């Protein structure tokens, strides 16, 4: 990134990121405080309240609430100082890792929130691995320092060893649990004190001239000050100093300590996102990559959400702008179909509510309402035939047969299933032989979510039954060879919603054998969405 040209100021001020965390670490609370300091809400608590009002709208959402997970992701934009932050929400549950993966293709950085008492948890690790696949820069926030937490060196060690990333402290906590009074800001030599009385207020910030400054003693009890000096000296000796290139490359993470619920450490983290965020990065595409500073608009769909409003059958495609300056009413080319599309009612996800987007810049996320033309992985440009790459579709790990509860409604079921397939919520395969549809998901919970959404949104009862197959592989190769293979293996063949050929089996052995006997064919567990 060091060799990149300077970006137009409107693009350079954008920071597009996601928060990754294990459930309960404090993602919602932190989001709320971001919005509070971003001036998007007046009082903390509104995000949750709004979330709940939305959730009561349907039983599906009720299920989401009961299980304490967030199935639907969205985006939020807000300003902080000179920056425009675009926060893209990731579903936290492991059953939705594919959705999460795609969401992370739309951001330039991730904030990893961990609970100071728990350290790196299972879901943190999984999400971290996904970030690593894309070398995303990661900024770490160690939350809940107002509670009894682990020793700071332990936490840092655990991150370094468990996640194999260098950790550099951006701040150092003073005291712990009920003794916690604040942090020493190592990047800016300031003392940050927590205000326990008012959770929505930021405490005092005092400029300090290094750790020997006598002013420190006015604010920190002697025993804590001594410990702070010792620990910081040790940390500076043992841990690497902050290297912005290493952060940009994703090999080093700066860590801030704080307490989201007490609004503490949040502003420092926001400053950190501003400083190391980074600014919008180039997007991988064929036949060439797209640079954010290009004057022409390009963008790609990373998520489709259907039925956001149950009364309208509309869908919203979430588009990450890869380049240029977008204005409402623009005519863009839908590269897959080569058709022009006038974007007359784009949605910008301003934190206060959905609002009509008059303009947006590279790095921003816009929502485009449509009737199904826009699919995950689609590219929009001002005419050039570019195709954004790297948005995969994974082979499902669980397969079941879906049958309409009412046999008269089989056609309707197909429509509903294909729609969810386009949304990326499941894979749907129509077997070459036999009736029913084979539905594949990554996690078992998705079957329940699908069944209740199909009932709710389409009024169709549906049954999921065990399938004779357990694995699906996309078949690729020369056309005539694929065709011959299909003819010879009809009982194992199905087509996905794009019409692509899929081989179904219950034996890994089958897959190995085909790969051996048909060197011209590839059986793939992922398919690039297009
Ligand atoms: P999420 O599941 O990651 O979104 O976590 P939430 O933001 O919902 O927080 C989980 C719980 O931890 C809630 O009860 C929060 O009130 C609490 N919590 C969040 N931040 C802090 C903090 O800094 N200190 C303490 N003590 N509790 C916190």
Q: pLDDT tens digits for 326-352?
A: 999 999 999 999 999 999 988 877 655
Q: List the one residue out of 286, 279, 432 whose CA is nearest residue 364.
A: 279
Give 258 Cα–ligand 1 centroid separation in angstroms.
12
Higher pLDDT, 391 or 270: 270
Residue nearest to atom 10 of ligand 1 (CA): 24
Structure tokens at 414: 């197909």
Q: Please, what is the average pLDDT of the chain?
A: 86
Q: Is 100 in the pocket of ligand 1 (CB under 6 A)?
A: no
Residue nearest to atom 27 of ligand 1 (CA): 144
Question: Is 182 annotated as ligand-binding?
Answer: no
Residue 35 has pLDDT above 90, yes or no: no
- In a 3-state reduction of DSSP, which class is residue 399? strand
How far apart CA 490 and CA 431 sit, in angstroms, is 9
**Helical (H) or strand (E) element with 48:** helix 46-55
Q: Is 362 in the pocket of ligand 1 (CB under 6 A)?
A: no
- Please state, in angstroms and as integers, the Cα–Cα distance from residue 440 to each residue in 46, 253, 416, 471, following that order: 37, 36, 15, 9
Give 117 Cα–ligand 1 centroid separation in angstroms.
12
- The least confident of 87-91, 289-293, 364-368, 492-496 is 87-91
- pLDDT category at 311 given cuts 50, 70, 90 is low
**Yes or no: domain 15-276 corresponds to CATH 3.90.1170.50:** no
Over residues 157-197, the pLDDT tens digits come to 999 999 999 999 999 999 989 999 999 999 999 999 998 88
- Of all atoms in ligand 1, which is nearest to the CA of residue 143? 23
pLDDT value, residue 127: 85
Of 22, 24, 32, 123, best ligand 1 pocket probe by most atoms within 8 Å of the beta carbon: 24
How far apart CA 449 and CA 69 sit, in angstroms, is 12
pLDDT value, residue 310: 54
Question: Is 512 annotated as ligand-binding?
Answer: no
pLDDT value, residue 65: 45
Residue 366 carries which DSSP code?
E
* Mean predicted confidence (pLDDT) in 72-101: 76
pLDDT value, residue 89: 82
Residue nearest to atom 16 of ligand 1 (CA): 261
How remote is the C-alpha of 25 from its chain's centroid? Answer: 16
pLDDT value, residue 94: 53
Most confident of 27-31, 70-74, 205-209, 266-270: 266-270
Q: Is 25 in the pocket of ligand 1 (CB under 6 A)?
A: yes
Of 18, 26, 91, 176, best ligand 1 pocket probe by most atoms within 8 Å of the beta carbon: 26
How far apart CA 354 and CA 367 sit, in angstroms, is 9
Give 380 Cα–ligand 1 centroid separation in angstroms.
39
Question: Is 476 annotated as ligand-binding?
Answer: no
Helical packing angle, 122-133 and 97-104, nearest 10°: 40
- pLDDT category at 439 given cuts 50, 70, 90 is very high
Residue 2 has pLDDT above 80, yes or no: no
Over residues 346-373, the pLDDT tens digits come to 887 765 544 567 899 999 999 898 888 8
Q: Which burial class, exposed, middle or buried, applies to 6 when counting CB atoms under 10 A from its CB (0-12, 13-18, 19+)?
A: exposed
Q: Is 259 in the pocket of ligand 1 (CB under 6 A)?
A: yes
How far apart CA 60 and CA 72 sit, in angstroms, is 11
* Mean predicted confidence (pLDDT) in 382-405: 87
- Of all atoms in ligand 1, which is nearest to the CA of residue 68? 2
pLDDT value, residue 351: 58
Q: List the one residue out of 342, 369, 318, 359 whose CA is nearest residue 103.
A: 318
**CB–CB of 131/250 below 8 Å?**
yes
Question: Is 145 annotated as ligand-binding?
Answer: yes
Helical packing angle, 266-276 and 27-37, nearest 10°: 80
Give 86 Cα–ligand 1 centroid separation in angstroms.
22
Q: Is 261 in the pocket of ligand 1 (CB under 6 A)?
A: yes
Give 353 Cα–ligand 1 centroid separation in angstroms.
24
Q: Which burial class, exposed, middle or buried, applies to 498 when counting CB atoms under 10 A from its CB (0-12, 13-18, 19+)?
A: middle
Structure tokens at 50: 């709004």
Higher pLDDT, 103 or 257: 257
Residue 471 has pLDDT above 80, yes or no: yes
* Mean predicted confidence (pLDDT) in 197-204: 79
Give 85 Cα–ligand 1 centroid separation in angstroms.
22
- pLDDT category at 133 given cuts 50, 70, 90 is confident
Question: Is 23 annotated as ligand-binding?
Answer: yes
Residue 207 has pLDDT above 70, yes or no: yes
Question: Is 26 annotated as ligand-binding?
Answer: yes
Question: Is 459 annotated as ligand-binding?
Answer: no
- pLDDT category at 40 given cuts 50, 70, 90 is low
Percent of all residues in the chain with a pLDDT value above 70, rounded to a whole number: 88
- pLDDT category at 375 given cuts 50, 70, 90 is confident
Q: How many CA atoms lie within 13 A of 505 on its CB side?
A: 15
Percent of all residues in the chain with a pLDDT value above 90, rounded to a whole number: 58
Structure tokens at 32: 């709320």
**CB–CB of 521/476 below 8 Å?**
yes
Query: Which residues touch 189 (CB under 8 Å, ≥6 apart)?
Result: 207, 208, 209, 210
Residue 282 has pLDDT above 70, yes or no: yes
Neighbours of 441 (CB within 10 A): 23
Q: List the one residue out of 5, 2, 3, 10 whose CA is nearest residue 326.
A: 10
∠ Cα 361 243 27 (to 5°): 60
Question: Is 425 annotated as ligand-binding?
Answer: no
The dihedral through the CA atoms of 511, 512, 515, 518 has a sign that is: negative
Residue nearest to atom 2 of ligand 1 (CA): 24
**Helical (H) or strand (E) element with 24:** none
Architecture of domain 285-388: 3-Layer(aba) Sandwich (3.40)
**Helical (H) or strand (E) element with 152:** helix 152-163
Please write down the HEC assignment for all residues of 283-326.
ECEECCCECCCCCCCEEEEEEEEECCCCCCCCEEEEEEEEECEE
Residue 484 has pLDDT above 80, yes or no: yes
* Mean predicted confidence (pLDDT) in 7-19: 96
- In a 3-state reduction of DSSP, which class is residue 27? helix
pLDDT value, residue 68: 35
Residue 98 has pLDDT above 90, yes or no: no
Q: What is the ipTM of this complex?
A: 0.99
Q: What is the CATH number of domain 395-528?
A: 3.30.70.3280
- Of all atoms in ligand 1, which is nearest to the CA of residue 259? 23
Q: Is 28 in the pocket of ligand 1 (CB under 6 A)?
A: yes
pLDDT value, residue 307: 60
Q: Is 146 in the pocket of ligand 1 (CB under 6 A)?
A: yes
Helical packing angle, 59-66 and 46-55, nearest 10°: 130
Question: Is 89 annotated as ligand-binding?
Answer: yes
- pLDDT category at 529 given cuts 50, 70, 90 is low
Residue 115 has pLDDT above 90, yes or no: yes
Domain ranges of the chain: 15-276, 285-388, 395-528
Question: Is 28 annotated as ligand-binding?
Answer: yes
Give 179 Cα–ligand 1 centroid separation in angstroms.
19
**Distance, first Cα to last Cα, the chain:** 28
Ramachandran category for residue 419: left, alpha or beta (phi over 0 → left; psi -120 to 50 → alpha): alpha
Give 26 Cα–ligand 1 centroid separation in angstroms.
4
Of 27, 28, 29, 87, best ligand 1 pocket probe by most atoms within 8 Å of the beta carbon: 29
Give 119 Cα–ligand 1 centroid separation in angstroms.
14
**CB–CB of 496/396 below 8 Å?**
no
Equal CATH topology for 15-276 and 395-528: no
Give 146 Cα–ligand 1 centroid separation in angstroms.
11
Question: Is 371 annotated as ligand-binding?
Answer: no
Tokens 């970030």 -> residue: 131
């Amino acid at each position: 990134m060091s060799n990149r040209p300077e970006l137009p100021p409107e693009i350079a001020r954008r920071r597009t990121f996601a928060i990754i965390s294990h459930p309960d670490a404090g993602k919602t609370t932190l989001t709320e405080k971001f919005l509070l300091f971003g001036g998007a809400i007046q009082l903390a608590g509104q995000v949750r309240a709004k979330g709940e009002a939305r959730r009561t709208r349907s039983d599906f959402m009720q299920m989401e609430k009961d299980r304490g997970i967030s199935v639907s992701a969205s985006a939020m934009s807000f300003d902080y100082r000179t920056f425009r932050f675009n926060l893209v929400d990731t579903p936290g549950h492991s059953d939705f890792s594919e959705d999460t993966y795609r969401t992370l293709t739309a951001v330039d950085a991730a904030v990893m929130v961990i609970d100071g008492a728990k350290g790196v948890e299972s879901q943190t690790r999984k999400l971290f691995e996904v970030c690593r696949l894309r070398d995303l820069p990661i900024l770490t926030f160690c939350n809940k320092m107002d509670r009894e937490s682990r020793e700071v060196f332990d936490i840092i060690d655990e991150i370094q060893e468990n996640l194999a990333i260098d950790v550099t402290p951006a701040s150092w906590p003073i005291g712990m649990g009920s003794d916690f009074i604040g942090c020493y800001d190592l990047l800016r030599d300031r003392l940050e004190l927590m205000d326990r009385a008012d959770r929505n207020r930021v405490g005092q910030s005092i400029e300090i001239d290094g750790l020997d400054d006598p002013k420190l003693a006015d604010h920190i009890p002697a025993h804590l000050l001594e410990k702070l000096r010792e620990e910081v000296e040790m940390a500076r000796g043992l841990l690497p100093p902050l290297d912005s290139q290493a952060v940009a490359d994703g090999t080093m993470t700066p860590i801030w300590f704080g307490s989201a619920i007490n609004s503490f450490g949040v502003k420092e983290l926001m400053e950190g996102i501003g400083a190391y965020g980074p600014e919008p990065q180039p997007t991988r595409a064929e036949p060439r990559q797209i640079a954010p500073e290009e004057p022409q608009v390009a963008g790609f769909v990373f998520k489709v959400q259907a039925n956001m409003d149950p009364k309208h059958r509309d869908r919203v495609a979430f588009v990450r702008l890869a380049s240029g300056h977008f204005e409402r009413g623009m005519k863009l080319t839908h590269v897959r179909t080569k058709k022009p599309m006038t974007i007359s009612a784009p949605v910008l996800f301003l934190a206060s509510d959905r609002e009509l987007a008059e303009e947006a810049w590279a790095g921003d996320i816009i929502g485009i309402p449509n009737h199904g033309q826009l699919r995950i992985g689609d590219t929009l440009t001002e005419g050039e035939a570019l195709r954004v790459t790297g948005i995969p579709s994974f082979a499902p790990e669980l397969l079941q047969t879906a049958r309409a509860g009412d046999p008269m409604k089989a056609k309707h079921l197909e429509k509903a299933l294909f729609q969810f397939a386009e949304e990326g919520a499941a894979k749907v395969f129509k077997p070459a032989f036999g009736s029913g549809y084979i539905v594949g998901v990554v996690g078992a919970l998705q079957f329940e979510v699908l069944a209740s959404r199909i009932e709710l949104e389409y009024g169709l009862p549906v049954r999921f039954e065990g399938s004779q197959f357990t694995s699906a592989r996309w078949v690729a190769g020369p056309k005539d060879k694929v065709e011959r293979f299909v003819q010879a293996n009809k009982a194992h063949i199905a087509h996905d919603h794009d019409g692509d050929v899929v081989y179904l089996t219950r034996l890994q052995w089958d897959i190995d054998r085909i790969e051996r006997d048909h060197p011209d064919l590839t059986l793939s567990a992922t398919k690039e969405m297009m």
